[in-house]
Structure 1
Amino acid sequence: MKKLPIAVSSFEVMRSADYYYVDKTKLLGQLNDQGRYFFLSRPRRFGKSLLLDTLHQLFAGKREFFHGLHIEPLWDWSVSFPVVRIDFGSGTLKSPGELNTRILELLKENYQRYQIELPSQTDVPGLFTQLIHKLHEQTGLPVVVLIDEYDKPILDNIENEPVAQAMREELKNLYSVLKTQDAHLRFVFMTGVSKFSKVSLFSGLNQLQDISLSPKYATICGYTQHDLQTVFAEPLKGVDWDKLKQWYNGYNFLGDSVYNPYDILLFLSEDQSYRNYWFETGSPSFLLKLFKQQQYFLPNLEAPEVGEEILNSFDVERINPLTLLYQSGYLTIQHTLERRGHLRFVLGVPNEEVKVSLAEHLIGGYLPRSAEEMYPLQNKLYDALIAGDVAQLERQIHSVFAGIPWRNYTNNELAASEGFYASVLYAFFASLNATIRAEDISNHGQTDLTIELGEFIYVMEIKRDTSQDYVAGEVNPALEQIQQRGYSEKYLSSGKTVFEVGIVFNTHQRNLVQFNSVCVS
C-alpha cells in the first residue's frame, strides 16, 4: 500500500518512494508558458513548500522524478537552470539581527550548493546580487529564484508593530535585489500567507503576478474532489463523502473548491477519524487580541462582503481582521458578485472543522477557561437550545457573562461597546455548531441574532443599558422591538418552533438584567 506524505515537502522524496501524489504539473507548465514572475498566497499547511520544490526539480531538469506525470512529454529536459532557494518556513525569528543572520546563512548555502566562492562583501544585497550574476555567468543560463514563506518573519512578529516593521525593512533589503536583475532571471516564484505592500515586491518593471485569486490556478495547492475520488480512492473507500466535504472541504480561490491536504492525510492516518487536525497546528492568539482591541463585532463574521483590496494586502500599521482571517484560512470566498462595476466577495468559514474550532478560540479570548471547564457550560447551553428550554437558556447566558473575569473590563471599554455582548453570544452559539444569522434582515429591519438548532428557532434582539441601578420593567425593550417590527414573521411557516427573545445587558452589572421570551409558533 502507498504511504501517506504527511509532512513531506520534498518532491524528490515523494517521487522516489511509494507515496500518494496528486499531479499539479499541468498547472506548472501553464505558469511557465504564461510569464516569469509569480506570487501565490495560501494558508499554512496547504502544500506550498512541496509546490516550490516541484518547481525546483522541474527547472533543474530532473526528469527521473517526473515519469508518468502530465508535464513529462512537454518539458525541455535538456536544459538545467540554476536555482536559488530561500525558505523562511522553519523556526521563529524575533529580531532584525536574527533575520539578517538567517538570510546570510541561506544565501551562503546557495553559494556552497553550486561551489561558488563567497565574495568579500557580506551585506545581503551584495551577496544576493553576486550570487545571481555568478550563477548566470557560470552556467550561461538565467537564474530561477524560489522563495518560500517570504512573509513569515513579519507575521511571526505581527503583535509587536515596531519589530514587524523592522523585519519588513530587513526583508525589503533582500527582495529589492530582484527588481534590478531582470536580465539575469529566468523565473521567480514566491509563496506566503499575506501580501504586504511595502516589501519592494509588488511594483516595478518585473512586477510579480499575483495568482492567488486566478481561477485557472485555484487548485494549484490543495486536493479537489476529483483528486480524492481518483488518487485516494483506495484509502477513502467507504467514506461518507457528504460528511467529509462538510468537515474539510470549502476552501475557494475562485475555482473548484479544495480540501486542505494536511486534513485529509491525517484523517486517513487516523482511520478516517473526524477531528480538528489543521486547526490544532496553530492558535489565532493575535486575532483574539486584535478583535478585543478593535472591539470587533463578531457577528460580522457571518457572510461579510468585501472588496478585492481587502483580500489582497495589508500593512503592519493598519491591519484589517477580515484580511488576516481570510489569508490565514479562517475565512474563504463563498461567492462573488458585482456592485457598480466592482467585483465583491462574500466570505464565510470554509467548513465544520474551522467553524467550531475558531468559535472555541474566540470564546477563550473572552472567557479564559480550560477546555475541560468550558465543555460543561457549552453542553448546558446546547441542551437548552436543542430542547427549547428558554428558562435554562437564560440561566446559561447569565453564567457565561458571570464567568468573564473582572480584569477583562479593566482599562478598556469592552462592556460599554455596543457589540460586545452580541460578540460573546455569537462565539458561544457558533461553538455549538448552531446555524447563526447575524443582523438577520426582514422587511421591517434587522434583528441582532437568529439562532437555529434542531427544531427550534430563536429570534434575538440585544439591548445595552447604561443606568447605575437597572430595574426591569413590565416591558422588555428588546422584545418589544422584535414584536413591533415583526422580525420573526418570516419563520412562522418554517415548521419549527419559533421563540422571540429579548435580552438586556447592563454595563455596570456587566451581565444579563432582563430576559423575556415568547413562543410564537
Structure 2
Amino acid sequence: MKLIAQSENIENFSSNNYIYVDKTEYLYNLINNYERVFFSRPRRFGKSLTLNSIRTLFEKGVDPYFKGTWIYDKWNQDRYPVLHFSFLKYPTTNVKEFNHSICQTLRDFASCLNISSYTDDAKFTNLIRNIFSAMPYEMKIVVLIDEYDCQLSANINNPKLYEEFRLLLRDLYAVLKGEKHIKFLAVTGVTRLKDVSIFSVGSDIKDLSYHHAYSKMIGFTRDEIKKYYFDYLKIGVSCVENKSLETVTNDDVELFIDKIAENYNGYCFDEFCENKVFSTYSVNNFLQDIVQKRKVVFGDYWYDVGGIPSILKNYMESHDIDLKKFLSSEIEVNYDDFMNPTSLLDINENVLMYQTGYLTLKSEINRPFRIKLGTANKEVSSALSSLLCEKFFNSDAVSAYFDAGEVLKKGSADDIISHLNSVLASIPYDKYPIENEPILRALILMYLTGLKLDVRAEQENSKGRSDILVNFDTRRVILELKFSETGRDVDSLLKDAVAQIQSREYGVENLGDRELIQIACVFDASKDKRKITLFSVVDR
C-alpha cells in the first residue's frame, strides 16, 4: 500500500512510494494557456506542492518524477532555469533583512546560471533589473513566487511596516511586468489585494483564484479520494463496522466517504459555485491516523496544525467582529468587497475569513449581485467557533468550561442551565450585549460548536425548527430559547416555549434509543439579571 506523503517536493514522491493525486492535466493546461498566473488558496491546501511540481517540470522534465501521470507522455516543453521565491522563508519584521534575503536568492540564481557580468546592488529591484540585463538576449526563465502576502499578513497590526513591505512588493511586480526573459510566472498567496499592483489596471498576471476550469486543481475531489486512497478507505470501514477487509463493499466505502465529506469537504473556489473540494491536509492526516491507530477519529487537523492563522489573529486584535453577521448559515458580501479588496488593513472581515478558509462560497460570483458565504464543513465550523469564542468570551473564564460535553451528556437540567449561565456571564457585556434571541442562540451555538459537540441550530423536523439540538450517543438535548428584554413577561414566554416543544415535538426525529431531554428556557436581559432565569423540562 502506497504511503501518504509528508512532503511538498514532487521529487520525493516516486522515490518514497508516496500517493500522488494526479493534478498534472491542470498544470499542463495552465502552462499552455497562460504566461503569468496568480491563484489564492487557504494555508495547507497544496499551493507549495503545485508550484514545486511546476518547477520540476520546467527544470527536470517528467522522467522519472511524473511517470504514470496524465502529463508523462504529453509534456514537450524545453527545460528552463527556475527562479523560486518562497516568501515564508524571508523575514517578516525587518525590511532591510527581507531585501537582503531576496538579493541573496538572486545572486545564488545568477551564480547557478554562470551570469557574472551584472552590476551588484543592495536593492533587490535594481539587482533584478541588472541580472535580467546581463542575460543572453534569447534566454528564458521561469519565475515562481510562493505565499507573496506573508510579510503583509504578519504586519496587519503594524501599518507603518505593512506599508514598507507593500511598497517593496509593488516595486517587485513592477520590475517583473512585461519582462521578456520570463517564459512563465506563477504567484500564490492566501489573500488577493489590489494595493500590491498584481491585480491593478494593466497587470499582465491572470488571476485564476475563482476560475471554473482550475477550481479543482488544488484540493481533493470525492472521485480522487476514492481512486487514490481506496485501501485506506477500506481500512476505515473495517474499523468502524468491525468487518474484515475482504467483506468491505463499494457501498460501504461510499458511505464512509459521506462521513469524511461532512467533516472535510465543501470548500468552493469556483465562480459558478459548482465544484467543491476536500481539504488535502485534513484528508491525508485523517486517513494516515486510521492506519496508524486502527481507529476512526474525525480530528480538527487543518486547525490544529497551526491554530488560528496569524493574519486572522492579528486582525481580530485590532478590529471588532460583528456577531450579527454570523447568525445565519449564509453571509452576504458586496461584489466589490469580495472581488477587489484593496488592503489587509481595511479588508471586509468576511472576505478575509473566506480567503483564510473559515468561510467558503455558497453562491456564484456574478456582478453586481451580492455573494453568499458560509462554513464548508464540521471541521471548519468548529474552528470558526473556536476562533470567535476567543473574541467574545473571557478567555480565562472559558478555559474552565471545557467540561460542557460532560455536563450536557450526563447532567441534569439544573446543571446544564447553570453551566450556560456561567459561560454567558463571561461575555464582556459593554462590548457584546445580548440584545435579542438570535444573538443569544448564536453565542450558545458558537460555544458548543467550538467544543466540537454535535450541535445543530434550528434543526428542522416535519412540524418546525428547534433552536438548539445537541446529540450524544446516549442522549439528545433540546434547548428552546426565549428572550425577555425587561423580565416582565418571563412566565408567559416560558409557557410559550413549553407549548412550542410539545406541539412541534422537537428532537423526536431519528431519535433511536437516545434519552431525550427537552428544556424550555427564558433569558432575562434586564440589567440586574442578564441570564436564563426560568426553565422547565418538558415531559413527553
What's 2:446 paired with?
Answer: 427
What's 1:249 paired with?
Answer: 265
Q: What amino acid does structure 1 have at the position aligned with 2:38? A: F
Tell me, what secondary structure is at the counterpart of 1:145? strand
What's 2:81 paired with?
Answer: 82
Query: Is the contact between residue 501 and residue 516 of structure 1 (CA under 8 Å) also seen in structure 2?
Result: yes
CA change 1:295–1:268 in 2 (3 A) is closer
Q: How does 1:107-506 map to 2 (within 5 A)?
A: 107-117=106-116, 119-135=119-135, 137=136, 140-181=138-179, 183-240=180-237, 241=256, 242-254=258-270, 255-271=274-290, 273-274=296-297, 275-284=299-308, 287=312, 290=315, 293-297=319-323, 299-300=326-327, 302-314=329-341, 315-333=343-361, 335-336=362-363, 342-365=368-391, 366-369=393-396, 373-381=400-408, 383=410, 390-404=413-427, 408=428, 413-415=431-433, 423-431=442-450, 432-437=453-458, 450-454=467-471, 457-463=478-484, 472-473=487-488, 475=490, 491=504, 495=508, 501-506=521-526
**Structure 1 residue 381: Cα displacement:** 4.2
- CA deviations on 1:450-493 (whole Å, 9 max, x unpaired) are 2123455434344556xxxxxx435468669989xx99899558
CA change 1:458–1:150 in 2 (3 A) is same
Worse overlay, 428-437 or 17-26: 428-437
CA change 1:130–1:306 in 2 (3 A) is same
Q: What amino acid does structure 1 have at the position aligned with 2:305? A: T
Q: Distance in 2 between matches of 1:507 and 1:325?
A: 34
Give the unaligned 5+ runs of structure 2: 238-255, 510-515
Q: Distance in 1 between matches of 2:329 and 2:305?
A: 24
Query: Is the contact between residue 422 and residue 462 of structure 1 (CA under 8 Å) also seen in structure 2?
Result: no
CA change 1:461–1:189 in 2 (3 A) is farther
Q: Distance in 2 between matches of 1:51 and 1:391?
A: 54
- CA deviations on 1:46-75 (whole Å, 9 max, x unpaired) are 111110011112223523123332123222
Query: Is the contact between residue 484 and residue 490 of structure 2 (CA under 8 Å) also seen in structure 1?
Result: no
CA change 1:337–1:55 in 2 (3 A) is closer
Query: Is the contact between residue 460 and residue 503 of structure 1 (CA under 8 Å) also seen in structure 2?
Result: yes
Q: Distance in 2 between matches of 1:421 and 1:289?
A: 26
Q: What amino acid does structure 2 have at the position aligned with 1:396? A: H
Tell me, what secondary structure is at the counterpart of 1:202? coil
Worse overlay, 45-54 or 107-116: 107-116
Q: Distance in 1 between matches of 2:160 and 2:534?
A: 46
Q: What amino acid does structure 1 have at the position aligned with 2:222? A: Q
**Structure 1 residue 282: Cα displacement:** 2.0
Query: Is the contact between residue 398 and residue 426 of structure 2 (CA under 8 Å) also seen in structure 1?
Result: no
What's 1:469 paired with?
Answer: none
Tell me, what secondary structure is at the counterpart of 2:73? helix
What's 1:4 paired with?
Answer: 4
CA change 1:229–1:105 in 2 (3 A) is same
- CA deviations on 1:130-169 (whole Å, 9 max, x unpaired) are 333444x26x243321110000111122233332232222
Tell me, what secondary structure is at the counterpart of 2:131? helix
Q: Distance in 1 between matches of 2:503 and 2:144?
A: 55
Q: What amino acid does structure 2 have at the position aligned with 1:216? A: A
Query: Is the contact between residue 441 and residue 467 of structure 2 (CA under 8 Å) also seen in structure 1?
Result: no
CA change 1:450–1:289 in 2 (3 A) is farther
Query: Is the contact between residue 336 and residue 343 of structure 1 (CA under 8 Å) also seen in structure 2?
Result: no
Q: What amino acid does structure 2 have at the position aligned with 1:399? A: S
Identity %: 25
Query: Is the contact between residue 519 and residue 535 of structure 2 (CA under 8 Å) also seen in structure 1?
Result: no
Query: Is the contact between residue 297 and residue 420 of structure 1 (CA under 8 Å) also seen in structure 2?
Result: yes
Give the unaligned 5+ runs of structure 1: 441-445, 466-471
Q: Distance in 1 between matches of 2:174 and 2:419?
A: 56
Task: Name the Cα RMSD after superposition.
Answer: 3.6
CA change 1:416–1:370 in 2 (3 A) is closer
CA change 1:505–1:112 in 2 (3 A) is farther
Q: Distance in 1 between matches of 2:52 and 2:328?
A: 35
**Structure 1 residue 422: Cα displacement:** 5.2
Query: Is the contact between residue 46 and residue 221 of structure 1 (CA under 8 Å) also seen in structure 2?
Result: yes
Tell me, what secondary structure is at the counterpart of 2:402? helix
Tell me, what secondary structure is at the counterpart of 1:107? helix
Query: Is the contact between residue 150 and residue 190 of structure 1 (CA under 8 Å) also seen in structure 2?
Result: yes
**Structure 1 residue 382: Cα displacement:** 5.4
- CA deviations on 1:100-158 (whole Å, 9 max, x unpaired) are 223223222322332322523221211122333444x26x2433211100001111222
Q: What amino acid does structure 2 have at the position aligned with 1:276? A: D
Q: Distance in 2 between matches of 1:105 and 1:508?
A: 64
- CA deviations on 1:373-413 (whole Å, 9 max, x unpaired) are 332134324556xxxx6544432221113345xxx56xx63
Query: Is the contact between residue 476 and residue 514 of structure 1 (CA under 8 Å) also seen in structure 2?
Result: no
TM-score normalised according to structure 2 size: 0.79
What's 2:247 paired with?
Answer: none
Q: Distance in 2 between matches of 1:372 and 1:414?
A: 19
CA change 1:122–1:295 in 2 (3 A) is closer
